[in-house]
Structures are given as structure tokens and as C-alpha cells.
Structure 1
Amino acid sequence: MEIIAPGDKFFHDIPEKIINDTRYMSYFKDCIGVIDGTHVDARIPVEEQAAYIGRYHSLTQNVIAACDFNMCFTFVSPGWEGSAHAVRIFKHAVMDPKYNFPAPPPVDAGYPLQRGYLRPYLGTRYHIPDFRRGHINAE
């Protein structure tokens, strides 16, 4: 098994890209990176395919990854069924100590409602197909 881990495993240092840019420093000084997921095409034996059918009805693996501000991976969890929800994969990675998930220092936000993680703004479009659907009405 290959181990992917952050260089500063206790996150003491503020990334240079943040500390040297006054536009971002006040907002991201305590941010250690980003987590996102993607679906990757999969080749699965016929008897196991049902669980790997993703939301577009193709066989996929759901993969979550975290990276730092230098665009270096600090965590990758591949191989999940295409039907697995991102929150399920995230919680599994965070809760099981064998994965050595790079946990941030304690802060006052939650993702998903969990100490130390900021979640996306509710109602904000993040996936490419969402942007193709047209204009968002401002309220």
C-alpha cells in the first residue's frame, strides 16, 4: 500500500500561496486544502456490477481525494462503488484510523456537520452539468 500524506502533518505552517496574497489571507489562513470526489470508469465482474452503476447509469468507481495548496495529493481513497455517496466515503476515511486521514486542527465549522471541515454553501452549483442548466436566480 502506498501512503500519501501531507508534508506538514500537523498543519502548523500557512501555505505560501495564502500568506503572500492579501486577498486570501484573512479568509483562508486556517485552510489546509480541499477535498472533492470524482467518478472514474470501472471494469467490474458481471456479478458485482449493480453496486458500481453511477448516477449516469455507467459503471464507475467513486474516488475522493484531498490536496494542499501546492496541488499535491495528501489523501486518496479509490475503489468505492459508483453508487456510494461522497459523504459515506468521507466519513469512512475520517473515522477509521487505519487510513491515517490528514485531520485538520480543531476549528468552528463543519463538513458534513463535523468539526474541522467547511462544507459547500447550500444551493451553490459545483458540478459541471449544473452550470450547463442555466442561470441561477438570485434571491
Structure 2
Amino acid sequence: MKGYLGPYRGQRYHLPNFRRGRPVSGKEEIFNHSHSSLRSVIERTFSVLKKKWAILRDMPSYSFERQTMIVVATMTIHNFIRKHVGRNDADFMEYEDINWAYENTIDSKNVHS
């Protein structure tokens, strides 16, 4: 299905707002927290991919379909390399360390609340 499933308006959305304050509650906040977390993962992934693949940083004026194929191709090559060469990718590990610290902060707050 085409479209965009956006967050609920009028509810907390950004991860820093969840870090400070009360625990996540209610279906709309739970959805917004999950949506924001997923968005964060996607943004980190694109940051790493842009660092590795110059064509993603400076995308020529190709058609949308061609740009989509380039993104899929670079992700496929990246996943192939990680699967067959190893998962010790310095760029991803740098971003995963940031994510690990955040997730442990959220988990410890939820346990203590």
C-alpha cells in the first residue's frame, strides 16, 4: 500500500522527550515511541550508507525509479559484504554503540518505573 503512516499528533514523539519524563503509556505513545525508534534506526543506516557510498551523498539528477534502484543496490552490496566478510563494520559499530547506550537508558527507566 502506498502512503506514509505518520505519528499521532499531540503525543510525545521525539526520543529525547521519552528519555526525560514519565514512562511510555497508552497506545498512541507506544506507537509514537516505536515509530520514532524505527525512524532513528533508518536515519543511522542511511548515514552509514552515505559514508560508504559517495553516490548516495551526491545523488545525480536521476529519475526517482533510478534513484530507488541505486539505494537498493548499495544496500544489497552492503548486506552481502556484512554477511560474507564479517559484521565488524567500524561505521555501523560506531552508530550501534550510540543506539546501545540510548536503549539501555530507556530500558532501565522502564524497569524502575
TM-score > 0.5 by shorter chain: no
Q: Larger relative contact order (C-alpha < 8 A, sep ≥ 6)?
A: 2
Question: So what's the TM-score if we normalise by structure 2?
Answer: 0.27
Question: So what's the TM-score if we normalise by structure 1?
Answer: 0.24
Would you tell me which structure has more helix in proportion to its own residues? 2
Would you tell me which structure has more strand in proportion to its own residues? 1
